[in-house]
Structure 1
Amino acid sequence: MPEKTIPDATETELGAEDAKLVTLARGARARVGAAEGASVRDQDGRTYAAATVALPSLQVTALQLAVASAVAAGAQSLEAAAVATAAETLDGAGHAAVRDLGAGAPIYVADLDGTLRGTVTE
């Protein structure tokens, strides 16, 4: 999957529910020292957080795992997602996973310190 360019942030502050997604993503990453952390919010407002899994036999991006957790819990659509990363681009596989359940869901991309870098909406 091709990586996705992160557009520059046009907003400086997120609403409370979206800021919570960034906080959850940062916490998931920090808890295990992973490369990335991610979180998603489903159609009922439930949130799911995950970190990158990088094992010799299994590679899963944080966004893929957060989406998979939501689906496993019965989510049918996503309202929004967030990823905390140092990467310059959004991974294509995670982006595709979010789009499978939320065609118009914003994906907030934040630095590891929580600073919003941009929002992917396509």
Structure 2
Amino acid sequence: MPESPAAPAARPSPSDPVALSAEDGKLVVLARGARARVGAVEGAAVRDQDGRTYAAASVTLPSLAITALQLAVASAAAAGASRLEAAVVVTEASTLDGAGHAAVRDLSADAPVHLAAPDGTVLGTVTG
């Protein structure tokens, strides 16, 4: 299968971690847990239109590489989600990966994507 070009990495705008809603704070906890459970580079969690949550870790295999955010979005879509309310990525990177951002935008044009450090500190939010 030919590779599709990845969207450019999105830079989050600075955000105050206290400004997260309780529901978005839960996503940070889920994403941190997914990352830590398997020692992955990144973890992610999303919440769909019904309030269901999906968490995932990045996967790198010889025949498959998928970001944590792509996998969380794919899990939501496979479960029937038609819209996302919010997403979180926990990573050491300072930018949101373009492929994960594009996956979120496939289901929601305006869901906030929070970027958090491994300790849970929110570094910023991408809203567009």
Do they fold alike, i.e. is TM over 0.5? yes
TM-score range, shorter chain: over 0.9
In the alignment, which residue of structure 1 is the partner of 2:29?
A: 23
Supply the distance in 2 between the matched residues of 1:13 and 1:121 (Cα, whole angstroms): 14
Query: Corresponding residue for 2:67?
Result: 61
Displacement of 1:13:
3.4
3-state SS of 2:93 partner: coil
Equivalences for 1:1-122 in 2 at 5 Å? 1=6, 2-10=8-16, 12-122=18-128
Length-normalised TM-score, structure 2: 0.92
**When you count strand as a share of all residues, which structure comes out higher?**
1
Amino acid in the other structure paired with 1:83:
V
Tell me the CA shift for residue 12 of structure 1: 2.9
Q: How many residues align structurally?
A: 122
Residue in structure 1 matched with residue 3 of structure 2 by the alignment: none
Cα separation, 2, equivalents of 1:10 and 1:84: 16
- 1-side partners of 2:42 and 2:18: how far apart? 21
After superposing on structure 2, the runs of 4+ consecutive aligned residues of structure 1 that deviate more than 6 Å are none
Percent identity, aligned pairs only, is 69
Give yes or no for contact 2:17–2:121 (8 Å, CA) kept in 1. Answer: no
RMSD over equivalenced CA pairs, Å: 0.9
Task: Return the offset for 1:10.
Answer: 4.3
Instruction: Structure 2: state its 5+ residue gaps.
Output: 1-5
How far apart in 2 are the matches of 1:42 and 1:90?
20
Please give the per-residue CA displacement for 1:41-64, whole angstroms capped at 9, x wherever unaligned: 000000000000011110000000
Which sections of structure 1, spanning at least 5 residues, go unmatched? Answer: none
